[in-house]
Structure 1
């Protein structure tokens, strides 16, 4: 396998939708190898540059015959790894990512222990990192943080069966058991709803 194939194989191994920076490859390749190969991969349409220093292996829609928009969560976490930040999705952004808000979003907000920064990615979408005290940083999986932040923002009295079904549609069933273990320390009412979300009831309806 030549260098080009090795780099692409490593990227493709993370699956479609993965966002990354050169720092995600530095333990495998030299800086010069990475820079040269990423430029070639972008030029050949194998990967996409979504912002300065941030790339993705885009998901492709057979129906639309085009690459889909970047996965915002993936892009945010690529930035976090690049700068060694800890981040936490904001409540409103969690609602948008989980399809619980009808607002058209051009600005996604994440709380961070790093400096406040704003970046523009493809399609004029902005990701904003706000320096803040992080409260839910103990979660291992980004899905856990998304669900907890969304439920907190909605409030207990506003959670309906429709809410639960919408969240279920956005979360891979393979993550259910991991999320349940990951969120055990959540507020009681939030954890009870997470148990409903991860119950796989929708399969039997």
Structure 2
């Protein structure tokens, strides 16, 4: 039987460099106290890095830049645990090619508790919301991007661009969640899904 440290290291390595973890990810391997103590020892041996209280990563290392910070997406996923998580509208709009704006302070939406973590100079925030239509799916990204663009920002060009990027499965999801959207968004969502 291998030690708890070996089991944690094996799981961490399987996820790869750049992965972010919370102690709850290892509670199936041992008690909370044992997991916390083992994580602390792995940090002391420089096998893991402590990012913030209860937040660890297996850092990526660049030959030129040294140890790299984790991506905000990975930090948000670790903080959200099993709760639904949705990328904010400004980020999805950028990823979908609808804007060149880059978000300096990412605020992710979740149906879990609101939380935040300061990693270096950047703060990753999770904001609780009651409804997250199609969270984590392309349809959810389109929903949030249109919501961020607003009524005046959703043009025929935006609709055409989104329609060309979505799969038929994502379009079906978009049609389903259109009922939950504000009145002004329903027509553009149906147009994108057409």
TM-score by structure 1 length? 0.65
The unaligned stretches of length 5 or more in structure 1 are 168-175, 193-205
- Measured after TM superposition, the shift of residue 159 of structure 1 is 7.6
Change (3 A) 1:123 1:22: same
| 2:49 paired with 1:48 | yes
**1:9 match: secondary structure:** helix
Aligned residue for 1:63?
64
Q: For the residues of structure 1 that align with 2:64 and 2:20, how far apart are their CA atoms?
A: 23
Does the alignment pair 1:15 with 2:16?
yes
Once the 2 structures are TM-superposed, how far is the Cα of residue 90 of structure 1 from its aligned partner?
A: 1.6
Q: Which residue of 1 aligns with 2:91?
A: 93
In the TM superposition, 1:20-39 aligns within 5 A as 20-39=21-40
Q: Which residue of 1 aligns with 2:125?
A: 128
By how many angstroms is 1:9 displaced? 0.7
SS of residue in 2 equivalent to 1:23: helix
Which of 185, 202, 205 is the equivalent residue of 2:173? 185
1:88–1:110 Cα contact (<8 Å) kept: yes
SS in 2 for 1:185: helix
User: Is the deviation greater in 70-79 or in 122-131?
Assistant: 122-131
Judged with a 3 Å threshold, the aligned counterparts in structure 2 of structure 1 residues 149 and 90 are, in CA distance, closer, same or farther, namely farther
Q: CA RMSD in A?
A: 3.4
Asked if 1:75 is matched to 2:75, the reply is yes
- Give the Cα separation in 2 of the matches to 1:12 and 1:180: 36
Summarize deviations over 1:6-58 as a string: whole Å, max 9, x none.
21111111122221111111012222321121111112222121221111112
Question: Following TM superposition, by how much is the alpha carbon of 1:87 offset from its aligned partner in structure 2, in angstroms?
Answer: 2.6
TM-score w.r.t. the length of structure 2 is 0.68
- Rg larger in 1 or in 2? 2
Following superposition, the deviation at residue 61 of structure 1 comes to: 1.7
* Deviation readout 1:61-85 (Å, 9 max, x if unpaired): 2332x1222121111111111xx53
CA distance in 2: counterparts of 1:35 and 1:145, whole angstroms: 38
Residues 7 and 29, structure 2, Cα contact 8 Å, conserved in 1: no
